[in-house]
Structure formats: C-alpha cells, structure tokens
C-alpha cells in the first residue's frame, strides 16, 4: 500500500504557532522533505523531532519529486515543510503535489500559519475577496503585464516583497495603481512585529528615508466598483455619441440595442440618445 504525502504548515515566526497535529505527524512519518534542511533542523531540534530529513527545493523540485514519489510508492509516509508557513503557497511544493496526483499518490494538508492570511486579517482592508500575487515576477515584461492586470483589480491585493526590492516595488505600484490605501507588515508573529496602515505615496516616502529590513507583506486596497464605473463613464464622454454607437455596432449589435447600451453607459435615457444622434446627423 502506498504512503501519503502530508503538507505540514510550520510557524512563520513564533514557534508557538505550530499545531499539535503537525508535531505528531512530523514525529510519525518516515521522512521529512524540507525546503532548507539547515533552517528546518532548528525547528525539529526545538521540538525534539528525530525524523530523517531530505532537501526539496526550487533547484531540485522535479527530479527530487519523482524520487519522493518512489518512496511513497514503497509505502513510506512523507511530510513536506517549507522554511515558514504552508507548503505549496509560493514555493516548489505545488509541483510535488501535482506530480503526486499524476502518479496516484494520496495528498493531505495540515493547516496552520500563512503570512498572506495573517497580514490580510490584521490589515483593516476588505477581506471577503482578495487576490494573492506572492512575489511579483522579476522578468520585466511579465511584471509589467501583472501590474497592468492589478490596475483594475477590485479585490484586496496581497504581495510579498524582500527588503532590497521594496522601494522599487512601491514605486511601480504607485505609478500603476495610483495612490491606494496599503497595510505593510513585517516580522509577522515575532517580537518586533510591525504593521503600518498608510498610503502608497506615504509608504514610499517613508522607506526612502528608512532602510527596509525583514520580509514584507503588502496588503493593498482594490479599486472600487464605483471608481471603475466613473472611469468608464469618463472614457465614453471623450467619444461622440456616434463613435460610441460604432463601438457596439462594429460587434454586430443592432442599432436599437446599441442605443440602449450607450444610454446605460452614459447615464442617459434612450430617448435622449436618439434625439442627440439626430442632431449630430
């Protein structure tokens, strides 16, 4: 009988945030696959866990995944842990999980700490809908494309950033999104945890004067539906009514239906649109 892969969440700072279930599982499995064994050994030693470890990280994630699958097929149970937080969230664990499903290996997740959720819940920003971007891509074209997508994002946005890239990222966010409310968290759950509720412009000014330190979680207010509607209305106002009509008619919309849509876009009555079009003619 094949073994099972356990995705075990570990603390993001405070060691007391590990669950009893994760501790028991780490002691009972046959092997622990860790993103950085040098870092994880400190956690295991603290809780007196003697289970053997092996490395599983970004640079060996595919080849090592199949090696781990072979062990799982032999009936061994394996726990996957990341440096901090929940495996599979913005780390190579997602590849191992995918390969396990392709190979018919059972996977389960033991919940616990996640920096994105911790920062979101204390941000004071809307939490019902959110978009988790993790670290923005470093490749320029892909990064620019993602930032453009976020420009009209209505959900609360969560981004991770390293200290040496923080100012550049804040500049790009300000240039693309405009001035938004933002909650900036660092050293989450640790003794020197910091939260700053501010705006993109003020945070940029602050970090140009104060060197960023530690890993950051940025929680940014999404654009409101009212703002989107106002921007759309203004874009229509730059067109003549006939040009606006052509937008819909070029897609095959009948003229009467196009009038209804134009009237709705501009907050006018269909009759007023009809009368105005007659005058333009």
Q: Look up the CATH number of the domain holding residue 190.
A: 3.30.950.10
- Tens place of pLDDT for every residue, the chain, 281 residues? 889 999 999 999 999 999 999 999 999 999 999 999 999 999 999 999 999 999 999 999 999 999 999 999 999 999 999 999 999 988 899 999 999 999 999 999 999 999 999 999 999 999 999 999 999 999 999 999 999 999 999 999 999 999 999 999 999 999 999 999 999 999 999 988 999 999 999 999 999 999 999 899 999 999 998 888 777 777 677 677 777 877 777 788 888 787 788 778 777 777 776 566 666 65
Q: Pick from 113, 132, 157: which residue ends a domain?
A: 113
**Are 154 and 223 in contact, with CB atoms under 8 Å apart?**
yes
The residues that bridge with 236 in the sheet, in sequence order, are none
Are residues 93 and 68 part of one domain? Answer: yes
Closest Cα to residue 245, out of 191, 281, 195?
281
Rg (CA), the chain: 26
The CATH number assigned to the domain holding 41 equals: 3.40.1010.10
102: enclosing H helix or E strand: helix 93-102
Length of the chain: 281
Per the structure, how many domains does the chain have?
3
* pLDDT of res. 230: 77
Structure-block tokens of residue 102? 């392709």
Q: Helix or strand or coil: residue 87?
A: coil
Are residues 248 and 163 part of one domain? Answer: no
Cα 262 to Cα 25, 159, 233, 271: the distances in Å are 61, 38, 10, 11
The residues that bridge with 54 in the sheet, in sequence order, are 33
* pLDDT of res. 70: 96
Are residues 21 and 107 part of one domain? Answer: yes
* pLDDT of res. 276: 67
3-state helix, strand, coil split of the chain in percent (to 5) is: 50, 20, 35
Cα 9 to Cα 26, 86, 226: the distances in Å are 11, 4, 39
Could you give the angle at the alpha carbon of 111 between the alpha carbons of 110 and 112, nearest 5°?
125
* pLDDT of res. 232: 72
Are residues 11 and 30 part of one domain? Answer: yes
Alpha-carbon gap, residue 11 to 115, rounded angstroms: 9
List CB contacts of 109: < 8 A, sequence separation 6 or more: 6, 7, 9, 86, 87, 88
Instruction: Burial-class residue 172 by CB neighbours within 10 Å (0-12, 13-18, 19+).
Output: middle
Are residues 217 and 162 part of one domain? Answer: yes
* pLDDT of res. 145: 95
Residue 129: domain span: 116-223
Q: Pick from 223, 248, 269: which residue ends a domain?
A: 223
Are residues 183 and 258 part of one domain? Answer: no
pTM (2 d.p.): 0.83
Alpha-carbon gap, residue 115 to 12, rounded angstroms: 7
**Are 233 and 267 in contact, with CB atoms under 8 Å apart?**
yes
Are residues 67 and 47 part of one domain? Answer: yes
Are residues 217 and 192 part of one domain? Answer: yes
Q: Pick from 86, 113, 140: which residue ends a domain?
A: 113
Sequential DSSP letters for 227-254: HHHHHHHHHHHTS-HHHHHHHHHTTT--
């Amino acid at each position: 009988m094949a073994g099972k892969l356990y995705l075990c969440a570990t603390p993001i700072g405070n060691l007391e945030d590990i669950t009893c279930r994760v501790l028991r599982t780490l002691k009972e499995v046959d092997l622990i696959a860790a993103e950085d064994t040098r870092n994880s050994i400190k956690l295991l030693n603290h809780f007196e866990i003697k289970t053997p470890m092996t490395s599983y990280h970004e640079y060996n994630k595919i080849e090592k995944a199949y090696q781990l699958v072979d062990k799982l097929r032999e009936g061994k149970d394996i726990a996957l842990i990341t440096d901090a937080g929940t495996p599979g969230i913005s780390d190579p664990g997602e590849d191992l999980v995918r390969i396990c499903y392709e190979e018919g290996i059972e996977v389960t997740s033991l919940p616990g700490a996640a920096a994105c959720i911790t920062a979101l819940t204390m941000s004071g920003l809307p939490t019902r809908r959110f978009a988790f971007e993790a670290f923005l891509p470093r490749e320029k074209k892909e990064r620019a494309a993602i930032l453009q997508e976020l420009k009209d994002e209505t959900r609360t946005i969560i981004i991770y950033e390293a200290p040496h890239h923080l100012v550049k990222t804040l500049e790009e966010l300000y240039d693309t999104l405009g001035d938004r409310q933002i909650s900036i968290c660092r050293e989450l759950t640790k003794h020197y945890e910091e939260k700053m509720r501010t705006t993109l412009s003020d945070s940029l000014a602050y970090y140009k004067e104060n060197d960023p330190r530690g890993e950051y979680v940025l929680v940014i207010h999404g654009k409101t539906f009212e703002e989107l509607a106002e921007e759309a209305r203004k874009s229509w106002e730059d067109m003549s009514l006939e040009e606006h009509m052509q937008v819909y008619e070029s897609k095959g919309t009948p003229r009467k239906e196009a009038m209804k849509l134009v009237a709705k876009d501009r907050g006018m009555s269909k009759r007023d649109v009809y009368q105005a079009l007659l005058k333009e003619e």
